[in-house]
Every structure is written in structure tokens, then in C-alpha cells.
Amino acid sequence: MNRIKTFWKKGDPYILFTGAGLIFSLGMVLLMLGIIIFNGMDAFWPKNISEYQLKDGSKFLGEIWDTKKDYLLKPDSTYGVVEEVKVKTGNRDIYGSDFKWLYHKDIKTSNEPQEAVCFERWEYGNFYGFINAVSIFDKRYTFQNKDLIEKANEALAKTLDNRNKEENIEKKLNDLMRPLSEVQRELSLIDINENVNKIKVEKLNKKAEELQNKIEKAYTKLSNDLTKLKEEDSQIIVSVTIADGTNIDVPMSKVLRLYQPNKMSTISKSFFYVKKVWEFLIADPRESNTEGGVFPAIFGTVIMVLLMSIVVVPFGVAAAIYLNEYAKQGFLIRMIRLSVVNLAGVPSIVFGIFGLGFFIYIIGGTIDQLFFTSELPSPTFGTGGILWASLTLALLTLPVVVVATEEGLLAVPKENKQGALALGATKWQMIRKVVLPSIMPGILTGMILAISRGAGEVAPLMITGVVKLAPALPFDLSFPFLHLDRKFMHLGFHIYDVGFQSPNVEAALPMVYTTAFLLVLIVVTLNLVAIYFRNNLRNKYKSSTF
């Protein structure tokens, strides 16, 4: 009896209990990270292409994505277990879907044919088959050519080159047309009933005509070039034999990349992998974001987090300093402090709604009325944009910064403050020269927490400026470089959109994991940078107690 008592008293069970709590929490975090990392890293590894012949004679070609056991209702109304394999057969435009579940019991033979080719296309996902022939202009190469795959690659290089040129021409055309379309837009906005405007209309009409004449020659030349390139594209064709033996003509201009995974060594697969990761990081998304890269989303996330930090840190620090150093402590200040802390518990969507109502409609609307009248009725700042999203998140993360800064302030020894005052410093000099430097680590802690919270938020962003696909980055080389009014893309929203809103969720799954992994990585990186600075500061001011 006594021994049991001392056992409980000594607290061994509590040590066990707290230890178990720690292990459980850590375990869940590691499990989550593990799943994300494993699936995210695996997404770009080129998978071999298998060929299946079923007992009923049908044939399928594709990558194995999954295997599972399933229950099947047998004719005698009992359930039997069957094994299934999920094959990504691609060729969505022909089969109607990307995937096919095959029962093990139906499969007669399976093998990995050396010559099988995977075509990554700009649209409609992957295409699997065997190259039957390649036509480049009037030359045709068939299976009799031993270097057929080289010919295919040659054709691909040509169409990719053409694609670049076409994009350039289209951009030039756009630039060329811009002044004209602006004049036309102005014209369309003018109410021609009034007398004054008639003169203006005439003026504008004349200007439009002049512009038209001026650009005509250049325009014709550019569009001719474009037609010529398209004409070339239409003569570069690869004929592909798909699983069931039919030959399909695929215009090479629809293809982005082709490779024969079954022939590739581990080393060349690794190279391929690196190239794909690189593309993922720096390319624009394709096919409603389920393919291609996420660069605009990375960029948008980082810029937004930076803008948010630039806003929230000064305001949070100022608020904390006022609360602690200047305000007369009492009931009111206690209430304010309590409210600020509780702000952290307000659901983020509420902040989003506030951002929409206050920042976008009221402030943005007013800005448009005052400074962007010429653009009305289309809004400039009166609609979601990266500025408003950042401000909303700044508001959301304000309590974190205030609380962390206050903690820092409380840790500044009062001897140091008094010492500064005793030397004839004013209160502000004391705060700036003694207090602020010693709370820098605390401020950075607040910033780290704010970044972690802010970078992961999606809900408030959805109504304050995030879009599925932004036409332009919020930062580019055209004046004023940082375009605060622009809509932007965000990794968190990207995950939601690709994983749950895209028409082809199954095929997009790897993308979801990779993007999630990337988001975690970015948050960690931003944090590490802040921690690095904090440690530097700590070494400089060893007295601080963080």
C-alpha cells in the first residue's frame, strides 16, 4: 500500500505520461511531414511504362500508380476479395479519363516494352504509345529508320523553338496594339450625347486612325510571320501506335517533352528528375494548374509574406512599446491587452471579411475615386490585390507580434532603463537606444511566428486577392515594379485549388503533395532566415534572455 503511494508521489507515472504526450505529438508531426515529403519527392521520378494484355484481348499501356484489394460481389451474392492495379493510361482525349483499374485476375500478361514512349503534352496530360513514324515537312521517317527516336526529338526541338518564336511575336503584337486599344477603350467610355465630347470623340477617332496607319505595316509583317510558323508546326507530326494498335497522328507542337522511361538508366532518370523539379520551381502552371510549375505561386507567397512583415512588425512593435512604456497601467490598458491577445483567436475568415469590407471596398474604393478615375468603372484598388491581402494578414498576425514584443520588453532589466535615464537620456532616447536593441530578438521571434501563421493562411486570402491563375506577377520590370493592386497566386490556395477544385483531381495528386512540401519548405526557410538574424543579435547583445 505504502509502496503504491510513494510510487504515485514520486511522479514516475507522470513522467511516463508527459513523455508519451511528447512522443505522440512529435510522432504526428513527423508522420505528416513524412507523408508530404515522400509523396512530394516521388512525384517527378519517371515511372516505367507497363503493357498489360487482358484475357479478353484488350491491351493497356501506362504507369502503375496504385494497387489495392477490393471486395467484389460474386454471382452467388457473397463477397470475394480481388486485387486491383491502378494504371495511368493517359491519352485522356481518346479514353476519356487518365486512369484505369485492372483486376489482377483479368490480366493475362504484363511486360515493360523498351520502346514505349511517354509524351508530355501542353494540354490533355500524358500520351503513351510507340512511335510509328515521324514527319518533318515533306520527309517521313518510319520504323525502318533506326534513329527514329532521335528524329522525333529533332522534330520536338523544332516545334519548341517555334513555340518560343510564336510567343515572342504575340507579345510584340500586344505591345503594338496597346496604344490603339487604349484609345478605343476611351472612346467606348465616352457618352457622346454631350456637345463637348463630340470634339473629343473626333479627336480620339483621328488619333485612332493615325495609330492604325502607323502600326499597319508592322502588324501585317508580324501576323504573316506568325501564320508561317503555325504552318510549319502543322507539318511536323508524330504518328503514335497506342496500346490497342491504332495509329494516331499527334502534331508535335502539342508535345512538351518525350522520353522512354523503360530504357532510362537510374542516372538518366535522376537527371530527368532534377530537370522536372527545376521546371516545377521556375515554370508557369499549365492545364488549370495541375501540370507545369508553381513559380507564380511561390513568388506571390513570398512577396505577400514580406509585405505583411513590413507592415505588421513596425505597427506591432509600436503598439507594444506604447502599451508597456508610455500608457498608464490600469484597467483600460489591461482590457486593451486582453483584446489584442484575444484577436489571435478570431477565425481567420473573419479577418478576410473585414479586409474585403474595409480595405477593399472602403479604402480601395476611395483610392479609385480619387486617383484612378480614368480607369473606372473597372476597379484598380477597389478589388482584391496583394496589398489588401497582405494588410489583412498583417492584421491577423498583429497580436503575435505585439505579444512577443511585450515579452521582450518585460525582460529588459529595469536597471538598464534607469541607467539610461540617469545619464540624461529622454524617455524616447532610452527606448530607442537601450530598449529597442535589446528587444530585437523578441521582435524577430514575433516576426517568425507571424510568418509561420501568415504564410499558411488561405481562407482570408481567397476573398482579398488570391486567384487561381494570375495573368502577371506582382513584381516585374515595368514601372512602378511592385504592383500592389495586382491579384496574385499563393501556394496554400494552389494546394486547395489543384487538390480539390481541379477537374482532374486524381492526376493532380502528386502536384498537391509537391506543392504542400514546397510550402512547408518556404515557411521553414523564411523562419530559418529570421532565426539566423535573431541568433546574430543574441550574440551581439548577450544579456538578453530569449
Binding footprint of other proteins on the chain (CB under 8 A): 328, 413, 415-416, 418-426, 429, 433-434, 437-438, 540-544
- Comparing CB distances to other proteins, the nearer of 176 and 436 is 436
Name the minimum Å distance from CB 422 to other proteins.
4
Cα 404 to Cα 128, 131, 397: the distances in Å are: 56, 63, 11
Q: How many helices (H) and strands (E) in the chain?
A: 17, 13
Name the minimum Å distance from CB 416 to other proteins.
5
- Comparing CB distances to other proteins, the nearer of 67 and 545 is 545
Compute, in degrees rounded to 10, the torsion defined by CA atoms 287, 289, 292, 293. 160
Name the minimum Å distance from CB 180 to other proteins.
59
- Comparing CB distances to other proteins, the nearer of 251 and 419 is 419
- Comparing CB distances to other proteins, the nearer of 111 and 418 is 418
| 167 secondary structure, DSSP code | H
Name the minimum Å distance from CB 432 to other proteins.
10
Q: How far is the C-alpha of 472 from the C-alpha of 489, rounded, in Å?
A: 10
- Comparing CB distances to other proteins, the nearer of 97 and 416 is 416
Name the minimum Å distance from CB 543 to other proteins.
5
State the amino acid at position 367 in one-letter form. Answer: I
| Among 344, 349, 539, CA closest to 458 | 349
Name the minimum Å distance from CB 427 to other proteins.
10
- Grid coordinates of 538: 543574441
| Among 389, 409, 392, CA closest to 319 | 409
Q: Within its chain, how far is the Cα of 100 from the centroid?
A: 29
- Comparing CB distances to other proteins, the nearer of 289 and 544 is 544
- Comparing CB distances to other proteins, the nearer of 245 and 424 is 424
- Comparing CB distances to other proteins, the nearer of 525 and 543 is 543
Helix (H) or strand (E) holding 68: strand 59-73
Dihedral sign of CA atoms 409, 412, 413, 415 in order: negative
Name the minimum Å distance from CB 26 to other proteins.
35
Name the minimum Å distance from CB 323 to other proteins.
16
Query: 509537391: which residue's cell?
Result: 514
CA atoms within 13 A on the CB side of 195: 0
DSSP assignment of 83-125 equals EEEEEE---HHHHSSSEEEEEGGGEEEEE--TT-EEEEESSS-
117-121 and 255-259 beta bridge pairing: antiparallel
- Comparing CB distances to other proteins, the nearer of 373 and 539 is 539
Name the minimum Å distance from CB 11 to other proteins.
37
- Comparing CB distances to other proteins, the nearer of 113 and 437 is 437
User: What contacts 24+ positions apart, CB below 8 Å, involve 272-276?
Assistant: 272/46, 273/44, 273/45, 273/46, 276/44
| Among 334, 344, 307, 343, CA closest to 461 | 307
Name the minimum Å distance from CB 535 to other proteins.
15
Q: What are the b/e assignments for 457-472, b being 16+ CB within 10 Å?
A: bbbbbbbbbbbbebee
